[in-house]
A = this chain, B = another copy of it.
Amino acid sequence: MIPRQKGVAVWRQIADRIRAQIAAGAYDATGRVPPETALAEEFGVNRHTVRAALSALSQEGIVRAVQGSGTLIERRDRFDFPIGRRTRFTEGIGTQARDIKGVLLSSCEEVVTTDLAERLDLPSGARVLRLDALRTADGRALSRSTTWFPAERFAGIDEAFRKTQSITRALALLGVADYLRAVTEISAIHAEPDDVADLGLAPGAIVLVTKALNTDLAGLPIQYAITRFPADRVQFTIRNA
């Protein structure tokens, strides 16, 4: 059932599949995972291997085992993040969580790279403000973003973000009442050491990476952002209404 190639432990592969099953609502009827013996038979492995998988999920807070009773599902949430012409992080996720926080990890001014200069339509040598932020929803890390603004036009955006905890509200403070999403690139990679630390992931976990360009209403680029999401907590929806 489970392929025995090398490099990825069988218990991890099984953990990934059970997590996906839970997220898909496969066990909603009972609110619990099937017994270890049943899972062992389903995946064609020893019960100990299933136990290793469930132990990992238990560490993640997804399930909780009760001796004699079974393994209960603690949570099965995957946030949906809509992407469209007027994409806003906080608004998009807003109805799905109560307590959304944006923490500014660091900010600095730097000279644009050639790649970034092209995207933001800046002359080479121009200066940009770089903001590193972590967003959490109900206490769980939801994204880790690095954002660049043209330094001249958006001086003070770091303080504005620190106060408002939101890019949208920070931009509003600086006189940008509205802005538009021009392009979004989406890819997926394995978690890197930074992701493991910042987003609280297991190595081998999946990170969804978006690279987004926002413009003002005149079409002038105002912001370029690279954001990393834990794939087991997030999905994207593109609506062409």
A: residues with CB less than 8 A from B are: 1-3, 5-9, 11-13, 15-17, 20, 56, 78, 80, 83-85, 180-190, 192-193, 196, 202-204, 206, 208, 231, 234-240
Cβ contact of A20, chosen from B56, B189, B237, cutoff 8 A = B189
In the complex, what residues of B have CB within 8 A of residue A13's CB? 190, 203-204
CB atoms of A2 and B193 under 8 A apart: yes
Q: Is the CB of A8 within 8 A of B3?
A: no
A206 touching B185, Cβ below 8 Å = no
- How far, in angstroms, from A21 to B13 measured CA to CA in the complex? 25
Known pairs A187-B235, A189-B206; list 20 more (Cβ under 8 Å).
A2-B193, A3-B193, A3-B196, A6-B9, A7-B202, A8-B9, A13-B203, A13-B204, A80-B185, A84-B240, A180-B240, A181-B240, A185-B236, A186-B186, A186-B208, A186-B237, A187-B231, A188-B206, A188-B208, A206-B231
Residues on B with C-beta less than 8 A from A236 are 185-187
Q: Which residues of B contact A16 (CB under 8 A)?
A: 189-190
Decide: B7 and A56 in contact? CB cutoff 8 A: yes
Bound-state CA distance A56–B8 (Å) is: 13
